[in-house]
Chain A
Amino acid sequence: MASFEEIAAESQQRWEELTAGGQPWIRIGTALCGKAAGCDDVIEAIEAALQQNGVAAQVSQVGCLGLCFAEPLVDVQLPGGPRVFYGSVTPETAAEIVANHVAGGAPLAHLALGYLAAGGSDGTVNSALDGIPDLNQHPMRVVENRVVLRNAGTIDPEDIHQYIANDGYHALNQALTEMSPEEVLEQVNTSGLRGRGGAAFSTGTKWRFLAGSNAPQKYILCNCEEGDPGAFNDKAILESDPQTLVEGIILAGYATGTSHAYIFIRHGHDGPIDRARAAIVQAQEMGFLGENILDSGFSFHLEVALTGDSYVAGEESAMMEAIEGKRAMPRFRPPFPAQVGLFGKPSNINNVKTLAYVPQIISRGGEWFAGIGHDQSTGTVILCLTGDLKYTGMIEVPLGINLKDVLYEAAGGVPDGKALKLVQTGGPLGGVLGAGNIDILLDFEILRSAGAILGSGGIIAANEDNCVVDLTRSLIAFCQYESCGKCFPCRMGMSHLLEVLERICRLEGVPEDLDLMRKVGQDMQAGSLCGHGQLGFNPVASALRYFGEEFDTHILDRRCPTEVCSVPRFSPVASRR
């Protein structure tokens, strides 16, 4: 097996061939956002046009650059030149781009979204192009500090060499050759990294639980269930740069003295599943996974495991049940997974994002990471911006950024001159913030005290045309449908909450309904087995807190101010068999 230096040298050579070799390099975004916008047709058109024009070019499918609103996104780099990005490409414009830019060497300023300067092989930086703006000045990019997403949209996720050429696996090599497991753990501790799955628990502390167990068999589990509507950053990491996660997991294994890990992905997320599997195979081929990694004596094995179609499977103990081949229903605690986890062995569960930070933390040091962010919320956060916003997509920003700035600056505000009504953060269980309450720093503690959570980073904006009662009903419909059915308060409570909300939406609510909901909400919160039921009343509670009047109008005046509720809606309750 080749040494790491030999591998790194080969990767570097391949990268230079791509960026500054003899052929143009065309990169197309093929993550979920690209697929949804029709990238497959664009790829077909590009290949046809290349043939028609008789030009040879390297065509790569890359992940998500974050500018989802502009998908399909095509990135053309002539040898040694800057990258020029074309947004919302159609098969027709694709042909035009190939003919003029790729074959003719002339970028199309009227179609281009922006350019990014690329470092040349000689260290020079190629510069601006006439009439094409610097993409880094785009509102979504200007606020960013890319740590996890540093390679997203830039490298081919199915080519490990491109990852290595961009500093990939240097952290692993460094850890295995120069650092003890304790030193790796210490860097993570110093970084102040906290779980990005929603609970924001200290990652270093969690790892220490596992490292402290001398059980012969332990597991690291990476959670990519990601079922929240409006959250797609975990999937995007696996689709854009899976090796950064694989490297992070191996480092976690090294730090905690663990030899086996699973990446747990929701069944049906084909892109992330395929790319994670391909990444594992390539990492094995390179000798980064398997026995005696990089001749260090450390051995580590990684597999992809799939859930069924279940939201609650993302709950850590339900996830372990699912990996064991059982129905994904949560276990009670204690015992905690660090004592009795997967297959009864001590286990550590981290979110994709959390683990994906680790290589950079090791490369650049815990202090560096701790220097980013705000107070106890160190580092960056990857936000998924959806709903009534001008620019939708994914941005990685330092924690502590003001939500208002995110919405009005980065995302360009609410389009069509409408007013913002509310923002929903942290997934369906998160709750809503009224438009008057968005001047708030994105910091775990500050958000929590405002009754909202950062959760997995999903931010859904709703304009004034939305009815709060109807929105709450649809959130609870989701929660009801996704309750696993195990514990009584959640299963029955959600059903009855939905029943009451549907009644109010039909303008048939009675004043007692609000108390009835609060009562069942309290019982769910106090009595439920897992977070799904404990937090399940949040959407209703926060809606009542910020928009109590709108509920009253529905009940007392029998009127929906937005007139949304006058239209008959799909009812999960009525549709039960």
Chain B
Amino acid sequence: MTTTLTINNKSVTVPDGGSVLDAINASDIYISQLCKDPDMKAIGACRTCLVEIHGVRGFPASCSVPATEGMVVQTDSDDVRRIRSGVIELTMAMLPEPAKSPPFVKGGWGDFGQLTTAAQQHGIQSPRWQSRPREETDESNTVFNIAMESCILCGRCAQACQDGHQFIGAIDFLGAGGNSRIGTFMDKPLADSICTTCGQCLSVCPTGAIQVKEQSVVSVQLSATPAADGAPLTADKLTADSLRSVSTTCPYCGVGCGIKVQVGDGDQIVEVLDDPENLSSVGMLCVKGRFGSSFVHHPDRLTTPLIKEGGEFRPATWDEALDLVAERLTHYRGSSFGTLCSAKATNEDGYIQQKFSRLLMQSNNIDHCTRLCHSPSVEAMLTSLGSGATSNSYTDYEDAGCLVVIGCDPTSNHPVAASRMRRAVVERGTKLVVINPRRIDMCDYADLWLRAHPGTDVALLNGMAQVILDEGLQDQTFVTNRTEGFEEWAKVVETYTPQRVEEITGVPAEDIRQAARLYAIPPTSSIPPFRKGGPGRISPGSCLIWGMGITQHTNGTANAHGLLNLSLLAGQLGRPGSGISPLRGQNNVQGCGDAGCLPNAMPGYQVLSQETVVKFQNAWGGHGFPEEHGLVITEMVDSMKESTGIKAMYITGENPLLSEPDLHHAQEMFESLEFLVVQDIFMHETAQMADVVLPATSFAEKDGTFTNSERRVQRVRKAIEPRGQSRPDWEIISDLAKRMCHKLELDFADQFDYGHPSQIFDEMARLTPIVSGINYDRLDREGGIQWPCPTADHPGTPYLYADSFPRGPRALFVPFEQGPVAAEMPNRRFPLILNTGRLLYHWHGGTITRRVTNLMARSPELQIAISPQDGQKYGIEDGQMIRVSSRRGQLTGRALLTDRESPGGIFIPFVKLSESAANFLTNAAYDPTSKIPEYKVCAVRVEAVGLDC
């Protein structure tokens, strides 16, 4: 519906629900708006958008007045111009002296962005007021400065940091009156605050007071020329003249934020902007997304193929390298070949790689890093529900009555998803239950924090289920109509009384009861409870959100089943505000699995069987491939020394020699390979061992799609030309495949003949029901689409299991008893439990982020977190260098004494910094079902290192 207003005697029609300012902006009339950000709620502070409205007393601020039908608005009467000019003049007097003296230089020193524009529009040259002494620039943050002298205190940055976007609250107004300023809690430097350097403040600053430090990065505001038509200066218009803006998807985590890459002269990425249109990130970014793209231009990029001769790499031509690979691989067709696909590459890259392995190499030994993160979740979900994906969307977190965040640290690993959780808690009253042995940042927002001993989650989850049953909080209608196996499961669970579980987990019985009640029936939610088809008891929704703390255990699959059982019991599945969310780590780990980079399934989780082989065989030119399931990555590594094991490997965009557990062992295994090809953007530990290294393009240099944690397929768009001779993964493998077809005299080279990734996607869509309705045209038009999307007119699916489950009408309860908590427990020699995980400022092993100056500056060295109690016990002081040893290896790093760790626990991020990597310590013990290694528990000891180290 629309509203029609008269603005300056002209009729303007705008969509309902907007403000008068929105209507003015929709017309071609310029009005100053210093504190109103296009993507945030009105603040109403700057008073420079004042107008006159017929029948309304005084001069209301147009940003805060709802537009109504028939309203008559005047933006340029003498009175209103006089008052606006007065306010702008006062505002200009906040700036340092030279800025007042005319002329303002657009694009040069003395340009204060939107304030300068406003002054020019009102014909103000120099204010009559004396300028104010201002606070000093805060330069403490390694990425950007807050130049107080150009700050007009509009409040946008504080809003962006708080309820405008991020719900962090690192900055706010301090002082009062003329002493007002932007600052942090206790007026400390920004770097000492809870600031996460997400840069949301920088993105909304209208005067350029918050600026990135790097000289090479040109600020958007400074580089632009004024809009010729006098229209309001939006980021898009500002950038249009000098920078090329390309909308694409962030290459870091599984949240899948939209980014707008700004490309300047020399095909250089100069800045990354957030994308308010993106449905997953809704305008937010984290520090890696906004400031972490410079790796693309890093001099370490692999720019030519390399062939190892006499133990040394030498540059080679593509023909030389690919012919060599083609020749060697002809000897390894079948089960001695294994391939590791990249969860950082596109769906199209993954699809081609599995097609190459199956069709050409006749091998199902295909895997990717999901084995090391969510394979237990996927295995459990396939068993219980029949599909291995997150069932809900980020919007469900905001609509939920309760969030249970277990075994994950979203603030570090999924920062933008964490912001949406904070929004739920702060703005919508959602209850938050955190279950984690570490005091993670989300604990600050939690209603309840259960600090269970590592490895005791099965008991804890069974205990919560016991409480739900005992107190009659289950959704009986759901259990009766839509599940099976309840009776057998309930028998196991009933012995897990809160008292017994308290003894196992260390969590007080009352907290277990409270958590169970909050999850089963949250007190309220911001949306009315809803279940399709009704009726039955419908309580507000709850979401279960988990990560590696659940999966990277020898109990991993049992843990995941514990969660699924809980959601089935409470009926917290298949309706808005509910669901199960294994938060995906890599940007495209969801898509990599979707594309069939799995040893047991074809694209779209079509399990390898005679039937599926025939289906794909028909589509792939009638050529067959093996039906028996292949090896998972950990099995591939273990088989390398066996005569029938893996002899040749093709690895793209992965670095197993940093990510595998017990690295000394893994290295030994890889040394026994006969032929290793690594295709990546940087030289890394695994590539060093390769026979041939092929340079691939980064996300910025290719087209394709990523699928994020909420199953949203999103476009990746080429922003710059490939660096050096690098080529997209799909293109390299297709080229190789054609060469091999030629060598082997196979007649299906045409199966690898693609001109553009959209053709690959279309082929995948034809063969994969869950994405059948998706194509590039739709993605360009509609933005990201959530699978399942079976037909071209299907809108996509925000939440799964509304009616049934992929395994059938009923989901399955799977009982598990609490087993031994871990394969390796502390003893007198190794008294501490080591936990590993990630850091906000680094990505996984650090191959990429070690090459981003901004991120390295924020987190330059390995910090080993240890409780103050243990610090005292082992004579370790905060900031001291310490050595950590396990039965398998040792490393050194700097001690960080913090109450985040409980006594007896120690945390090391698995990023490799200064040659120290946590996986030299970890244990290669596996979960029997999913084969995931136990990264989260191993026994270690710590000791102080002498000053000479």
Which residues in A have some Cβ–Cβ distance to B below 8 Å?
A: 310, 312, 327, 329, 331-332, 334, 480-489, 491-496, 498-499, 516, 519-520, 522-523, 526-529, 572-573, 576-577
Contacts and interface: CB of A to CB of B under 8 A. Distances in A.
A572 B61 CA distance: 31
Contact of A487 (B44, B132, B175): B44
Interface in B56-82: 58-59, 61, 64-66, 79, 82
Interface residues of B, number: 42
B130 A489 contact: no
Contacts of A495: 132, 177-178
Chain A CB count within 10 A is highest, among B45, B66, B84, B128, for B45
A493 B47 CA distance: 12
Contacts of A481: 176-179
B90 A487 contact: no
Given A332-B64, A496-B90, A528 B47 contact: yes
B128 A485 contact: no
Nearest to B43: A486
Contacts of B135: 577
B816 interface: no
Contacts of A332: 42, 44, 61, 64
Contacts of B178: 480-481, 483, 491, 494-495, 498, 572-573, 576
Chain B CB count within 10 A is highest, among A482, A487, A527, for A527
A320 B47 CA distance: 22
- In order of increasing CB-CB distance, the 4 nearest A-B pairs are A485-B180, A523-B86, A332-B44, A492-B90
Contacts of B130: 496, 499
8 contacts: A485-B153, A489-B47, A489-B90, A492-B90, A495-B132, A498-B178, A526-B83, A527-B87
A327 B48 contact: no
Contacts of B94: 492
A527 B66 contact: no
Interface string B34-61: 1000000011111110100000001101
A485 B130 CA distance: 18
Given A486-B155, A488-B46, A489-B47, 17 more contacts: A331-B44, A334-B65, A485-B176, A485-B179, A486-B173, A488-B87, A489-B86, A492-B87, A494-B178, A496-B129, A498-B178, A499-B129, A520-B86, A523-B82, A527-B87, A572-B178, A576-B132
A531 to B, nearest CB: 13
Contacts of B44: 331-332, 487, 529
Interface in B229-246: none
B86 A327 contact: no
Given A486-B155, A491-B177, A495-B178, A523 B90 contact: yes
A314 to B, nearest CB: 13
B173 A329 contact: yes
Contacts of A492: 87, 90-91, 93-94, 129
A332 B135 CA distance: 28
Contacts of B58: 526
Contacts of B45: 486-488, 529
B176 A527 contact: no
B878 interface: no
A325 B83 CA distance: 33
B881 interface: no
Interface in B865-913: none
Chain B CB count within 10 A is highest, among A332, A484, A486, A493, for A486
Nearest to A532: B177
Chain A CB count within 10 A is highest, among B83, B86, B91, B173, for B86
A569 to B, nearest CB: 17
A489 B88 CA distance: 9
Chain B CB count within 10 A is highest, among A483, A493, A526, A577, for A526
Contacts of B83: 522-523, 526-527
Contacts of A528: 47
Contacts of A520: 86, 90
B47 A529 contact: yes
A329 B43 CA distance: 10
Interface in B151-186: 152-153, 155, 172-173, 175-180
A484 B45 CA distance: 11
Contact of B59 (A488, A496, A527): A527
A489 B90 CA distance: 7
A528 to B, nearest CB: 7
B133 interface: yes
Contacts of B48: 488
Chain A CB count within 10 A is highest, among B64, B82, B87, B135, for B87
Nearest to A498: B178
Contacts of A483: 176-178, 180
A577 B86 CA distance: 26
Contacts of B128: 516
A576 to B, nearest CB: 6
A14 B61 CA distance: 59
A463 B756 CA distance: 89
Given A491-B153, A496-B129, A523-B83, A484 B90 contact: no
Contacts of B61: 332, 529
Contacts of A526: 50, 58-59, 79, 83
A498 B179 CA distance: 13
Contact of B93 (A334, A482, A496, A577): A496
Nearest to B64: A332
A344 to B, nearest CB: 9
Nearest to B35: A488
A527 B50 contact: yes
B66 A488 contact: no
A528 B44 CA distance: 10
A199 B61 CA distance: 22
Contact of B87 (A310, A485, A489, A572): A489
A529 B45 CA distance: 7
Contacts of A312: 176
Contacts of A488: 34, 45-48, 87, 90-91, 152-153
Nearest to A484: B176
Contacts of A523: 82-83, 86-87, 90
A310 B175 CA distance: 10
Contacts of A489: 47, 86-87, 90
Nearest to B50: A527
Contacts of B93: 492, 496
A225 to B, nearest CB: 14
A494 B177 contact: yes
B702 to A, nearest CB: 45
B745 to A, nearest CB: 73
Contacts of B43: 486
A576 B179 CA distance: 7
Contacts of A484: 173, 176-177, 180
A186 B899 CA distance: 59
A489 B58 CA distance: 15
B90 A493 contact: yes
Interface in B723-748: none
Contact of A491 (B50, B133, B180): B180
A572 B178 CA distance: 9
Nearest to A528: B47
B131 to A, nearest CB: 11
Given A492-B94, A493-B90, A523-B86, A310 B47 contact: no
Given A480-B177, A491-B178, A494-B177, A527 B86 contact: yes
Chain A CB count within 10 A is highest, among B47, B48, B155, for B47
Interface string B762-775: 00000000000000
A522 B46 CA distance: 16
B694 to A, nearest CB: 55
B91 A482 contact: no
Nearest to A481: B177
Contacts of A576: 132-133, 178-179
B88 to A, nearest CB: 9
A572 B176 CA distance: 12
